[in-house]
C-alpha cells in the first residue's frame, strides 16, 4: 500500500490575530467572511495569497502572519471562485511563520 503524506497548506492572517490562534486555533466561526470558513493556499500560490491578504486587509506585508497547516489531501474543499484557495469548516492546529520564513520553506519544496 502506498503511504499517504500530509500536504502543506498556508493560512494567512494579520499578525495581530496570532495570540488568539495560539490559544484557540484557526476558528472559521470568527471569520469576517459571510461563509464562515477559513481560507488556505498551497506553497505554490503563496505570493498571490500575500498580495491578496495585504490588499484585502489594507495592511503591509510585514503585518501578515502565515500559519502552516499539515493535513491529508482531501480534507479541504477546493474553492470554485479562486484557483489557489481551499476552504475548511474544521478547526485546524497550525505552526506560525512570518511571510519570509514561509517563502523560504516554500522554495525548499
- In three-state form (DSSP H/G/I as H, E/B as E, the rest C), the secondary structure along 14-31 is EHHHHHHHHHHCECHHHC
Q: Which of 59, 72, 79, 74 is nearest to 16 (CA)?
A: 59
Q: Is the dihedral of CA 74, 35, 57, 94 positive or negative?
A: negative
Task: Write down the domain spans for the chain.
Answer: 7-108
pTM to 2 decimal places: 0.76
Nearest Cα residue to 10 out of 90, 73, 65, 82: 65
Q: What is the pLDDT of residue 69?
A: 83
Q: Do residues 21 and 94 lie in contact, with contact meaning Cβ atoms separated by under 8 Å?
A: yes
pLDDT tens digits in sequence order for the chain, 109 residues long? 455 556 788 889 999 988 888 877 787 777 776 777 788 888 888 899 999 999 999 999 999 999 888 777 666 666 655 555 666 666 566 777 888 888 888 887 6
* Topology (CATH) of 7-108: ADP-ribosylation fold (3.20.170)
Q: What is the pLDDT of residue 63?
A: 94
Amino acid at each position: 500500500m502506498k503511504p499517504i503524506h500530509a500536504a502543506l497548506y498556508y493560512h494567512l492572517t494579520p499578525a495581530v490575530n496570532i495570540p488568539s490562534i495560539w490559544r484557540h486555533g484557526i476558528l472559521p466561526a470568527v471569520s469576517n467572511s459571510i461563509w464562515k470558513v477559513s481560507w488556505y493556499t498551497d506553497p505554490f500560490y503563496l505570493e498571490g495569497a500575500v498580495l491578496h491578504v495585504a490588499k484585502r486587509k489594507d495592511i503591509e506585508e510585514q503585518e501578515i502572519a502565515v500559519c502552516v497547516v499539515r493535513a491529508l489531501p482531501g480534507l479541504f474543499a477546493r474553492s470554485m471562485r479562486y484557483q489557489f484557495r481551499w476552504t475548511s469548516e474544521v478547526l485546524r492546529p497550525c505552526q506560525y511563520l512570518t511571510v519570509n520564513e514561509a517563502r523560504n520553506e516554500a522554495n525548499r519544496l
